[in-house]
């Protein structure tokens, strides 16, 4: 068990990205969910992302500004790794964000979903 996170483009629910126990990303998405009016437990809930959301996420990844987030199934802090591993994580995150932006430009809806 643990935190599994997915980014899909729809229709057809094609996976763009997958993360395992990236708790800071989860915290960022939780904050976005609440800012968009979501309430209740943010688990197994689709969160539609806009181009503006992805621009903010990209900026926050680049600036190491994803919020420290804890949860029973979330694992160790996403930023509590050696610099080399952290830089690789950020690179992968930014590649997924770029794929998501491309999907929106192509007319898809981009959706984040997590399961823990």
C-alpha atoms less than 13 angstroms from C-alpha of 89 in its C-beta half-sphere: 20
When computed from its CA atoms, the radius of gyration of the chain, rounded to whole angstroms, is 13
Lowest mean pLDDT: which of 20-34, 80-94, 95-109?
Answer: 80-94
Report the percent of the chain where pLDDT is more than 90.
Answer: 78
- SS3 of 17, please? strand
What CA–CA distance (Å, rounded) separates 108 from 3? 25
Q: For 19-36, how does the pLDDT look when each residue is reduced to its tens digit (9 = 90+)?
A: 999 999 999 999 999 999
DSSP conformational letter for 74:
S
pLDDT at 78 over 80: no
Domain ranges of the chain: 4-115
What DSSP element (H or E) covers 50? none
80: pLDDT confidence band, cut at 50, 70 and 90?
confident
């Amino acid at each position: 068990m643990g935190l599994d996170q997915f980014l899909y483009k729809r229709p057809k629910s094609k996976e763009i990205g997958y993360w395992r126990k990236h708790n800071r990303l989860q915290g960022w998405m939780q904050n976005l969910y609440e800012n968009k009016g979501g309430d209740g437990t943010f688990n197994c809930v689709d969160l539609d992302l806009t181009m503006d959301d992805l621009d903010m996420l990209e900026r926050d990844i680049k600036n190491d500004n994803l919020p420290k987030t804890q949860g029973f199934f979330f694992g160790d802090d996403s930023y509590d790794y050696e610099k080399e591993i952290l830089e690789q994580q950020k690179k992968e995150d930014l590649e997924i964000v770029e794929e998501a932006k491309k999907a929106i430009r192509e007319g898809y809806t981009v959706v984040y979903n997590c399961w823990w």
